[in-house]
Amino acid sequence: MIRRTILALSLAVCGSAFAQVAVTIDTAKPGPVIDKNVYGQFAEHLGTGIYEGMWVGPDSKIPNTKGWRKDVVGALKELRVPLVRWPGGCFADEYHWKDGIGPRSKRPVKVNTNWGNVTEDNAVGTHEFFDLAELLGAQVYINGNLGTGSVQEMSEWIEYMTSPSKSTLAELRRKNGRDKPWKVDFFAVGNEMWGCGGNMNPEHYANLYKNTTTFIRAPKEFKPQIIASGGHTDDVKWADVLTREVKNDMAGVSFHYYTIPTGKWEVKGAATGFPESQWFSTMQNTLRMDKFIRDNKAVMDKNDPEKKVGLYVDEWGTWYDVEPGTNAGFLYQQNSLRDAVVAALNFNIFHEHADRVRMTNIAQMVNVLQAMILTDKTRMVLTPTYHAFKMYVPFQDATSLPVSLENNTAYSAGTQAVPQVSASAARAKDGKVYLALVNTDPNKATEVTVNVGGAAGNSATKFTGQVLTSAKMDAHNTFDAPNAVKPAAYSAQAAGGKLTVQLPAKSVIVGAVE
């Protein structure tokens, strides 16, 4: 019944004729593993992203564990969140870690000058963040303060977190409630050093980076992989300079790119109620991610042919005008089917570049930008982006498989066009081959024939998974209608020796191919 309903919806939109796209998965030529951290999250001290959205404090009437909302943590666990980046973002370069330890009632109150000029009482600090990571079963990515901090401050923070010794800082950690050292998986030296982190040039930052990493010391089993702050959008100079000048203690170079419908920071476009022209421009702009990654990879391949250094897209996602009536500094926006399609397109791009892209962090987890979850006091709603992340869970640590598309039609607007169909495939840890398909066209469905090639020349006979779609471009979930956009079961059987998947307009489909 579900499949027939979806098919009827597609036919109603585009008529009885389908364009047919051929997708071939080559199982004989496995590629690099898609690192699970490609599905990483980002939690900055920004708006209600942490306070209210996730953290309510241990004395709250809202059910919580160690101050973290049980409903939100439970929903995030369903995504198998592999990694969380904290405390920023721009906030990181004004954050002093000692403000966030010790009795919460005695912590200093500051002003969050980056995001809304609201007070920051430092209730969530190092210990609380590690509690969250442990509740989620996630790795941690901590962003150090190079902007207003110092080498000494970062060095001491690492010692506080990771030292098993009897040093003063390790003993202070024990006094504050944590005996054993924490494992800090990743540690970044600053954030957006070209902008809010200090308005530096890459050559100056490269020297500061080398100076800082000289003094980041930890026992081998607790020492983090260190990340350098890189470039953004079409700027490849940061990746070039850093991979040329830094030869040690650099696991990755960060990269930031946000999808903005208008391409203008002043007026970005609305999250809902937008015209089709802004649906198209959003698809077009988010697909620029592929070129940006390719350009960065080109300079990195020249300087680091052994691919020792990863390209970490640790900020990405959609950025719209804030919802009317909200604090402009809180970056609260609604999340629609368009955002889910954007997320899936980016997943497919990241899979394509799994040789370098070993971590990404969508901005952000809750109530900020392209969030997984929206909250309002005791209420919580899952966004379409949340559902896209959950559908793609099988791709975490899966082995990528080459995919070729033939007869891929175009979704066009005037003289400009983008591919209608995006595809990605991988062999998951359960041994199954998974295929993800995205239809960028909000009006036209299509048929996709699926072929599975390889040493044995296998042919596909069955597809089982889920589809995410809706009749409206800006369909979204609200607290009163939390299930307006959610995945539905989908399956297809081969007929006449051919497996065909009906791909509705504006949709994401993920499933196992047998």
The last residue of a domain, from among 374, 398, 422: 398
- Helix/strand/coil percent split, the chain, to 5: 30, 25, 45
CA–CA gap between residue 121 and residue 100 (Å, rounded): 9
CA–CA gap between residue 89 and residue 86 (Å, rounded): 8
To the query of whether residue 78 is one of the catalytic residues in this protein, the response is no
Q: Are 444 and 13 in contact (CB under 8 A)?
A: yes
Supply the pLDDT for residue 20: 87
Q: Are 96 and 35 in contact (CB under 8 A)?
A: no
- Mention every residue, 6+ apart, whose C-beta is less than 8 A from residue 501: 437, 447, 448, 449, 450, 463, 492, 509
Q: Are 226 and 188 in contact (CB under 8 A)?
A: yes
Selected catalytic residue, list 94, 120, 128, 315: 315
Give per-10-residue mean pLDDT for the chain (514 aa): 37 47 94 98 98 98 98 98 98 97 97 94 98 98 97 98 98 98 98 96 98 94 95 97 96 98 96 98 98 98 98 98 96 98 98 98 98 97 98 98 96 95 98 97 96 69 97 98 98 91 98 96
Q: Are 270 and 319 in contact (CB under 8 A)?
A: no
Instruction: Tell me whether strands 225-228 and 19-26 are parallel, antiparallel or unpaired.
Output: unpaired
Q: Is there a single domain that holds both residue 465 and residue 329?
A: no
121 Rama sector, left if φ>0, alpha if ψ -120 to 50, beta otherwise:
alpha
CA–CA gap between residue 388 and residue 486 (Å, rounded): 9
- For residue 488, give the CATH number of its domain: 2.60.40.1180
Supply the pLDDT for residue 18: 52
Supply the pLDDT for residue 454: 61
Q: Is there a single domain that holds both residue 386 and residue 407?
A: no
- The dihedral built from the CA positions of residue 218, 77, 336 and 53, taken in this order, carries a sign that is negative
CA–CA gap between residue 421 and residue 440 (Å, rounded): 6
Q: Is there a single domain that holds both residue 309 and residue 424?
A: no
Supply the pLDDT for residue 126: 98
Selected catalytic residue, list 128, 159, 192, 352: 192
To the query of whether residue 315 is one of the catalytic residues in this protein, the response is yes
The last residue of a domain, from among 359, 374, 398: 398
Q: Is there a single domain that holds both residue 391 and residue 407?
A: no
Instruction: Tell me whether strands 488-493 and 499-503 are parallel, antiparallel or unpaired.
Output: unpaired
What is the longest distance spanned by two Cα atoms in the chain? Answer: 74
Q: Is there a single domain that holds both residue 417 and residue 277?
A: no
The last residue of a domain, from among 382, 398, 414: 398
Q: Is there a single domain that holds both residue 343 and residue 410?
A: no
pTM of the predicted protein model: 0.94
Q: Which amino acid is at 77?
A: K
233 Rama sector, left if φ>0, alpha if ψ -120 to 50, beta otherwise:
left
- For residue 68, give the CATH number of its domain: 3.20.20.80
Supply the pLDDT for residue 474: 98
Supply the pLDDT for residue 282: 98
Task: State which residues form the domain around 430.
Answer: 21-28+402-513
DSSP notation for 286-323: HTHHHHHHHHHHHHHHHH-TT--SEEEEEEEEE--PPP
Q: Is there a single domain that holds both residue 267 and residue 355?
A: yes
